[in-house]
């Protein structure tokens, strides 16, 4: 509730990943979902167990984009009185819903980007990866009166956000680290490359006289991984 007014979930379509070019009018759901589920998955490099070791190291590869899933209910029986969309023609409403989620944008030559908002809360920004619609109740002529749409969305990053993520995490790019008190070259090397095997090469590249002590305030350069392997 918001100032005594029942607030519906809103789905808005955009033609760009920056969510700046809106397509058409926002879609207001008939009935707010009872629940929604976030899921996260993390990938690791192929694990190889060293001889004599007990278990696997699970070297980090990346965090995949977050996903969210909803069940949306459409009801045209007139039984549910839930605001302005009671006793609707669900086929027309489902078409409007589908146009937001999987409509084709001629500007970007792809399906829409979708923002999911609920009151003052922007729940999610992403693209639809799956949509399944099940029809439940029918008139005598076969016209559907109730349906449930299961939708799954995947979050998206703008180009600028993606570049920022890569610069922070990718071993394929040059990194420059400002040294703080207590920093350790082996740990810094492992943090960037996933292994500390290259720490002596890093010490040589940076002309370190003592790799065991890093002077706070100095900078250490970590070249791309492919150059370390050459």
Let me know: does 167 contact 159? Beta carbons within 8 Å.
no
- Asked: is 9-161 a CATH 1.20.1260 domain? The reply is no
Give the number of other Cβ atoms within 10 Å of residue 3's Cβ.
5
Domain boundaries, the chain: 9-161, 170-229
pTM, two decimals, is: 0.64
* Lowest-confidence segment of 46-55, 99-108, 131-140, 163-172 by average pLDDT: 163-172
Residue from 23, 37, 9 nearest 113 by CA: 23
- pLDDT tens-digit profile of 85-140? 556 789 999 999 999 999 987 777 899 999 999 988 888 999 999 999 999 999 99
- Topology of domain 170-229, per CATH? Membrane-bound Lytic Murein Transglycosylase D; Chain A (3.10.350)
In angstroms, the CA 138 to CA 140 distance is: 7
pLDDT tens, residue by residue, 206-227: 988 888 888 888 888 888 877 6
DSSP secondary structure of 191-213: HHHSSSTTHHHHHHHTT-S-TT-
- pLDDT over threshold 50, residue 175: yes
The closest of 91, 89, 82, 87 to 29, measured between CA atoms, is: 82
Are domains 9-161 and 170-229 of this chain identical in fold?
A: no
Query: In which band, very low, low, confident or very high, does the pLDDT at 172 lie, cut at 50, 70 and 90?
Result: low
């Amino acid at each position: 509730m918001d100032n005594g007014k029942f607030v519906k979930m809103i789905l808005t379509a955009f033609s760009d990943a920056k969510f700046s070019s809106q397509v058409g009018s926002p879609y207001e759901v008939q009935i707010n979902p009872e629940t929604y589920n976030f899921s996260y998955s993390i990938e690791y490099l192929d694990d190889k167990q060293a001889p004599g070791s007990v278990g696997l190291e699970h070297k980090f590869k990346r965090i995949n984009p977050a996903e969210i899933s909803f069940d949306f209910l459409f009801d045209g029986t007139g039984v549910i009185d839930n605001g302005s969309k009671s006793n609707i023609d669900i086929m027309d409403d489902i078409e409007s819903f589908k146009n937001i989620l999987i409509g084709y944008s001629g500007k970007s030559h792809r399906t829409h980007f979708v923002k999911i908002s609920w009151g003052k809360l922007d729940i999610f920004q992403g693209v639809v990866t799956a949509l399944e619609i099940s029809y439940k109740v029918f008139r005598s002529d076969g016209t559907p009166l109730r349906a449930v749409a299961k939708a799954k969305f995947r979050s998206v990053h703008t180009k600028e956000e993606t570049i920022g993520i890569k610069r922070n995490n990718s071993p394929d790019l040059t990194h420059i680290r400002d040294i703080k008190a207590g920093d350790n070259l082996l740990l810094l090397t492992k943090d960037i490359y996933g292994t500390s095997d290259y720490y002596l090469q890093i010490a040589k590249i940076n002309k370190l006289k003592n790799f065991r002590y890093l002077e706070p305030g100095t900078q250490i350069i970590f070249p791309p991984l492919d150059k370390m392997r050459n």
